[in-house]
Amino acid sequence: MQFLYLRGQRARWSTAQDDRAPTIAMMSSRALVLVGVITWLIIGFPSVRWELLNDHLLTPAGLSWLTCFVVFIVGFLVASRERCEKRLEWTMRVMQAFLALACIALQPTGFQGILLVIVAGQLGHLRLVQIVAWIVIQTTALAVILSLNHVQVAFFIALAYFAFQLFGAFAAKIAHEEGVARRELAAANAELQVASGLLDMSSRTEERLRIARDLHDLIGHHLTALTLNLEVASHLTDGTAREQIDKSKSLAKLLLSDVRDVVSRLREDEPVDLAGALRGIAAAVPTPAVHLQVDDGLALSDPATGKAALRAVQEIVTNTVRHASAKNLWLSVTSEDGKLKIDARDDGVGTDDVRPAHGLLGMRERVEQLGGSLNLSSMRGRGFHVMVNIPLARAGA
């Protein structure tokens, strides 16, 4: 399995550019939140100043506007949290939309419409039809509110904000799709690393078997024939010539024995360099950050155990990349007490209802066929935990 490690090294040109991907993604998310807060402050400053200059801030209408305006940014910050639950996230966004419209109704001549753009910028994870429908509803409500407040050119103002909202939403959607594509690429890269390594191991095993057959069928047969001919020659001669023939016969038998030993070793299973293979998988995944702990030189003499371990790690890594929304994956692979132990946990969103899909079910089947066990545990907000134990008695490790 050295091929996996070397392949990971050769692929460094593609993964090196993504080594900072978790940090960049985190910084981008925080930057967007910061921009949203700054935009909110810029909108609020002239609005508060206008309310103060006209002595409206302490009136019921002024206090209502201020309350809606402050609660809006609180909802924005709650919805922007990385560990925010989907239901709460949706609730906060709907609330932001209503609060933004309330602010517009209470101060129709200000810049409150920009709050709708902030809401639209949070819709990148929706489908295109849903995004457009949401923005159309917001813009229609905006146009109605402006018309009821007798704002001149209300239609054109609403149309302008409609364009701003589309721009913000589409920019957010492009960023979201780029993040999804990056995760899918990382998962596919990890799968490719394992598949390529297993294919290489299978190819080298077939090549060793071919060489073993050739040694046995060609050299072995010829040496056997040579030994028989020398045996016949030894009976037809005597004296010094016979002594030399006997020595040649002994060397031919010794060489035949050596060939049989080489053939026997070639037919034996090649140890799987599990440590090198796992490092290759970890290097292929830019996000989440894979913290790998594995014994140096960990090798398995049983290919079935090695393949099961590699497939288990691959499934753990790809599931974490695709579904966990995690920043870190801690992966420990050790050999102790006659067992190969794989302990993996992440800091993702987790779930209170663990339902293994086809990948995890396949992993369980492969492990149990070798007499091992698979334990899964998770909790909402506390990530996912996987423990795999595979007996090494049959592997001779």
pLDDT(266) > 60: no
Residue type, 311: R
Q: Give me the half-sphere count of Cα atoms (radius 13 Å) on the Cβ side of residue 307.
A: 17
Count other Cβ atoms within 10 Å, centred on residue 362. Answer: 14
Mean pLDDT of the chain: 77
CA distances, 290 to each of 198, 280, 382 (Å): 21, 11, 17
CA neighbor of 173 nearest in space, from 227, 132, 202, 225: 132
In this structure, the dihedral spanned by the alpha carbons of residues 211, 217, 219 and 221, taken in order and rounded to 10 degrees, is 160
pLDDT value for 69: 92
Confidence of residue 329 (pLDDT cuts 50, 70, 90): confident
DSSP state of 122: T
pLDDT value for 305: 80
Contacts of 385 (CB under 8 A, 6+ apart): 344, 345, 376, 377, 378
CA neighbor of 85 nearest in space, from 93, 73, 74, 179: 93
**Pairwise pLDDT comparison (226 vs 266), residue with the higher score:** 226
**Pairwise pLDDT comparison (322 vs 330), residue with the higher score:** 330
- Is residue 331 within 8 A of residue 291, CB to CB? The reply is yes
**Pairwise pLDDT comparison (302 vs 138), residue with the higher score:** 138
pLDDT(130) > 70: yes
In this structure, the dihedral spanned by the alpha carbons of residues 235, 238, 240 and 245, taken in order and rounded to 10 degrees, is -10
Q: Which residues pair with 384 in a beta bridge?
A: 378
Taking the C-alpha atoms of residue 111 and residue 102, their distance in angstroms, rounded to an integer, is 13
pLDDT(98) > 50: yes
Give residue-wise pLDDT tens across range 48-66. Answer: 888 788 777 788 888 998 9
pLDDT value for 1: 35
| Type and span of the H or E element at 389 | strand 384-391
pLDDT(348) > 70: yes
Q: Which residues pair with 291 in a beta bridge?
A: 330
Taking the C-alpha atoms of residue 232 and residue 47, their distance in angstroms, rounded to an integer, is 114
Q: Do β-strands 299-300 and 289-294 pair in parallel, antiparallel, or remain unpaired? A: unpaired
Q: What average pLDDT does this structure show over 273-279?
A: 75
